[in-house]
Amino acid sequence: MDWLTDITYLKGVGPKRAELLNKEIGVFTVKDLLYYFPYKYVDRSKFYTVQDLTTDLAYVQMKGEIVRIQEEGHGNRKRLIAKFYDGVGTIDLVWFQGLKWIKNAIKTGQKYVIFGKPNFFKNGIISIPHPELETLEKYEARTIRGGLQPYYSTTEKLRKSFITSRVISELVAKALEILDNIPDFMPQYLIERIGFLSLVEALKNIHFPEDTHKLRLAEFRLKFDEFFINQLSLIKQKKLRTQKIPGYIFERVGDYFNRFYHEKLTFELTGAQKRVLKEIRRDFKSGHQANRLLQGDVGSGKTIVALMSMLIALDNGYQACLMAPTEILAQQHYNNFIELLDGLDINFRLLTGSTKTRERRIIHEQLMKGELQILIGTHALIEDTVQFKKLGLAIIDEQHRFGVAQRAKLWQKGQTPPHVIVMTATPIPRTLSMTLYGDLDVSIIDEMPPGRKPIITKHVKESQRRHLYNFINKEIAKGRQVYIVYPLIKESEKLDYKNLEQGYEHIVQIFPPPKYRVGILHGQMRPEDKELEMKRFARGETQILVATTVIEVGVNVPNATVMVIESAERFGLSQLHQLRGRVGRGGDQSYCILVTKDKLSSDARKRIDTMVSTTDGFKIAEMDLRLRGPGDIFGTAQSGFPFHFRIANLSKDGAILQLARNVAEEVLREDPELSRPEHELLKREVDREIKRSPWGLIS
Ligand code: ADP
Ligand code: MG
């Protein structure tokens, strides 16, 4: 039998079961079945005796006979107890449900193999509730017994049709027995050099491990496989892109850049900013389209780097654009540019959803003529009516909110694409950025501008709220400003707005006018009103801004020193970190106060503790990954985290990923097209992965 054979033809399956396996767990072929891995193993390699039982054993297997069966208790509390003697001592097997059935099924004097989790009671009695139980004869007749036993996840429907974890394991065992050949795509030289198990060995041991050592080797091989194919396909796609897609060449650094640098820049660039600018300049001269991810924590100074890159494009006669995810942020970039570009005689404008038709028309016209040099805006930038004469550089702020298709809409088919720089303040753990952005070049600004004081983060419980208001009062008295943020979560939007409004009223009562001025900002306000509120806060006309997370991204008010986050337990770590980044932007000591209810779940507690103990975005991202898993962080629907691994785990297997990346790079260096005979099967796997890849090739 071939492993691509339809699962229907595996002995013991047939059309009915095949349909269930297709629908319920996506198993269509024998190969699919072999790649349906156990989610856990239970050690049934040894038999324990009563003497061996200790409180730290989770599950135990024992052999013995039932010597007495008795019922105890009344009504709801009725239970069945079987005294089980293993030749050394006696324990209780206990059932609380299905008493009648069990009572008929078990016999005294019969030898059994039992399996379960022992409980220890103060009076010295050891009992195992609802043990798995099998007669010794039956146990000895089984094909698979002893060792580490695989457990497979099943579904309600599968179980109803008696396709249990055990049945799946029997099917897998059968398949492994009768397959003639499992083709291994890993070239022999790598198997030898890295010391992998062959694919056959790996698959045998992932299902039925000979021992824990072999299991580890099997996991290593199969995890490596997934990462390896993934990395080969990403690196290959990137090579295709850089070889096939030409890019504009920006040779010169001219007047715009130089005048800005000498006349406008009031501070020295950090070492990291200089390094990143160099990396970008190298892209500009390479003759290939740049696709660079610019990663840097909030406040690390990405905007200046973006602006200076744009000035290089202008110096070479090209246009540039800057796209932001929200109207507030686009507006803020625009205001920032007004200040930064003052006197440089550069034509730049703002285009958002609320830009008036007349202004819009001017923008369209000037863009086509090439008179408009820089366009700043939101999604409105990628509408079909927006046509540049010569777009040389597109910068996308907070890229995780834009999909690939949107990126590609910035230019037309057949045209030379602009260089693309995507900026993100979401510190992405290295393991993730390697897979998520494996086809982009990555620059990291890992140094903060000098003179920043680390933000102090405190946890305040509901019952300590009064201290919070005293503290806010003191800061305001010093002339500082305060954000108070309420959660806004899609499912309960109405309720959340109610919370926000109540919160606002409450704050106004505690900080009443005219002494205090409190503003409110949320996503349902009209853009003009939002902008007005933001402006009032930025000018210092309001001291407290009560808001939803609309202020999360990019908002910059250096005089704001306190960020209060209400119901902080409802926020994810990366969001808390983003919000905290709104303060600490000036020279004054800043604070982030996390207000939670008194009692917290253990996960919420860990998030809060993490925030209190570190301001390092990368550490926080790692923790976030560990607590939530990559699936949640990059929920497929939301931002299109494109990869699904069966066995590899991005939060735990960073070292294997790194190895897979290194080996993939090396293999492609030696054989870029994977055209050597020893790479034939490997190429097939990689091509399949590329076809499936949601990134595809943008061209
Ligand atoms: P980001 O976009 O990375 O969050 P910004 O570019 O908005 O950060 O920069 C945050 C603040 O730091 C801005 O006010 C900016 O002018 C300032 N800044 C940027 N680079 C430097 C530097 N090298 N030295 C001092 N201040 C800087
Ligand atoms: Mg920014």
The ranges assigned to domains in the chain are 1-45+146-180, 54-141, 255-285+301-424, 456-614
For 54-141, CATH gives 2.40.50.140
Contact between residue 344 and residue 264 where contact means Cβ atoms under 8 Å apart: yes
Per-residue model confidence (pLDDT) at position 635: 40
Q: How many other C-beta atoms are found inside a 10 Å radius of the C-beta of residue 154?
A: 18
Map tokens 């902080």 to a residue.
568
Strands 132-135 and 111-116: antiparallel
Angle at CA 186, nearest 5°, toward 184 and 189?
120
Q: What is the DSSP letter of 128?
A: E
Rounded to whole angstroms, the Cα distance separating 332 from 397 reads 12
- 394-408 burial by CB neighbour count: b if 16+ within 10 A, else e? bbbbbbbbbeeeebb
User: With a cut of 70, which residues of the chain have pLDDT below it?
Assistant: 56, 143-146, 399-408, 411-414, 436, 489-495, 497, 552-555, 629-643, 692-699
425 lines ligand 1 (CB under 6 A): yes
Q: Where are the alpha helices (DSSP H) in 286-428?
A: 302-315, 327-340, 357-369, 404-408
Fold assignment, 255-285+301-424:
Rossmann fold (3.40.50)
Which atom of ligand 1 is the closest one to the Cα of 558? 14
Give the three-class secondary structure for 39: coil
Give the three-class secondary structure for 402: coil
Give the ligand at the shortest distance from the Cα of 427. Answer: 1
Give, for ligand 1, the residue of 556, 559, 615 to mutate: max count of ligand atoms closer than 8 Å to Cβ.
556
Which atom of ligand 1 is the closest one to the Cα of 300? 3
Bond from prior residue into 514 cis (ω within 30 degrees of 0)? yes
Rounded to whole angstroms, the Cα distance separating 259 from 571 reads 44
Spell out the residues 6+ positions from residue 652 whose beta carbon is closer than 8 angstroms to its own. Answer: none
303 lines ligand 1 (CB under 6 A): yes
E strand or H helix at 83: strand 79-85
Q: What one-letter code names the amino acid at 248?
A: Y
Rounded to whole angstroms, the Cα distance separating 602 from 387 reads 52
For residue 93, the Cα-to-chain-centroid distance in whole angstroms is 44
Q: Calculate how far, in angstroms, residue 585's C-alpha sits from the geometric centre of ligand 2.
A: 11
Strands 441-445 and 544-547: unpaired
Q: What one-letter code names the amino acid at 458?
A: K
For residue 224, the Cα-to-chain-centroid distance in whole angstroms is 20
Q: Where are the alpha helices (DSSP H) in 439-479?
A: 465-477
Q: How many other C-beta atoms are found inside a 10 Å radius of the C-beta of residue 668?
A: 18
The number of residues making up the chain comes to 699
Q: What one-letter code names the amino acid at 544?
A: I
Q: Calculate how far, in angstroms, residue 445's C-alpha sits from the geometric centre of ligand 1.
A: 11
Per-residue model confidence (pLDDT) at position 404: 58
Which residue's alpha carbon is at the smallest distance from atom 14 of ligand 1? Answer: 585
E strand or H helix at 258: helix 255-259
Q: Calculate how far, in angstroms, residue 331's C-alpha sits from the geometric centre of ligand 1.
A: 17
What Cα–Cα distance (Å) separates residue 101 from each residue in 80, 93, 127, 162?
A: 11, 15, 20, 19
Domain 456-614 classified CATH 3.40.50.300? yes
E strand or H helix at 94: strand 90-95
Q: How many other C-beta atoms are found inside a 10 Å radius of the C-beta of residue 414?
A: 7
Give, for ligand 1, the residue of 261, 267, 396 to mutate: max count of ligand atoms closer than 8 Å to Cβ.
267
- 633-659 burial by CB neighbour count: b if 16+ within 10 A, else e? bbeeeebbbebebebbebbebbebbeb
586 lines ligand 1 (CB under 6 A): no
- Strands of the 119-120 sheet, one edge to the other: 119-120, 126-129, 90-95, 79-85, 60-72, 111-116, 132-135
Per-residue model confidence (pLDDT) at position 373: 98
Contact between residue 672 and residue 664 where contact means Cβ atoms under 8 Å apart: no
Q: Calculate how far, in angstroms, residue 595's C-alpha sits from the geometric centre of ligand 1.
A: 28
Shared fold status for 54-141 and 456-614: no
Cβ neighbourhood burial of 479 (10 Å; 0-12, 13-18, 19+): exposed
What Cα–Cα distance (Å) separates residue 41 from each residue in 148, 210, 218, 390, 537?
A: 6, 12, 14, 60, 58
429 lines ligand 1 (CB under 6 A): no
Q: What is the DSSP letter of 124?
A: S
Q: Calculate how far, in angstroms, residue 270's C-alpha sits from the geometric centre of ligand 1.
A: 10
267 lines ligand 1 (CB under 6 A): yes
pTM for this prediction: 0.66
Contact between residue 318 and residue 392 where contact means Cβ atoms under 8 Å apart: yes
Q: Where are the alpha helices (DSSP H) in 316-449?
A: 327-340, 357-369, 404-408, 430-436
Rounded to whole angstroms, the Cα distance separating 397 from 378 reads 10
Contact between residue 342 and residue 348 where contact means Cβ atoms under 8 Å apart: no
From the list 506, 475, 674, the residue with the least C-alpha distance to 589 is: 475
Give the three-class secondary structure for 210: coil
Rounded to whole angstroms, the Cα distance separating 680 from 674 reads 7
Spell out the residues 6+ positions from residue 677 whose beta carbon is closer than 8 angstroms to its own. Answer: none
Give the ligand at the shortest distance from the Cα of 445. Answer: 1
296 lines ligand 1 (CB under 6 A): yes
Rounded to whole angstroms, the Cα distance separating 227 from 660 reads 6
Which atom of ligand 1 is the closest one to the Cα of 445? 3
270 lines ligand 1 (CB under 6 A): yes
Contact between residue 692 and residue 643 where contact means Cβ atoms under 8 Å apart: no
Gyration radius from the chain CA atoms: 32
Rounded to whole angstroms, the Cα distance separating 582 from 638 reads 24
Which atom of ligand 1 is the closest one to the Cα of 302? 3
Rounded to whole angstroms, the Cα distance separating 539 from 519 reads 12
Map tokens 């994977």 to a residue.
674
Bridge partners (DSSP) listed for residue 79: 72
From the list 459, 458, 456, 471, the residue with the least C-alpha distance to 598 is: 459
Q: Calculate how far, in angstroms, residue 333's C-alpha sits from the geometric centre of ligand 2.
A: 8
Which residue's alpha carbon is at the smallest distance from atom 24 of ligand 1? Answer: 449
Rounded to whole angstroms, the Cα distance separating 222 from 220 reads 6
Give the three-class secondary structure for 41: strand
Rounded to whole angstroms, the Cα distance separating 270 from 68 reads 80
300 lines ligand 1 (CB under 6 A): yes
Q: Where in 193-330 does DSSP place strands (E)?
A: 291-296, 319-323
189 lines ligand 1 (CB under 6 A): no
Residue 674 backbone zone (phi > 0: left; psi -120 to 50: alpha; other: beta): left
Per-residue model confidence (pLDDT) at position 398: 72
Q: How many other C-beta atoms are found inside a 10 Å radius of the C-beta of residue 50?
A: 18
Contact between residue 114 and residue 129 where contact means Cβ atoms under 8 Å apart: no
Give the three-class secondary structure for 442: strand
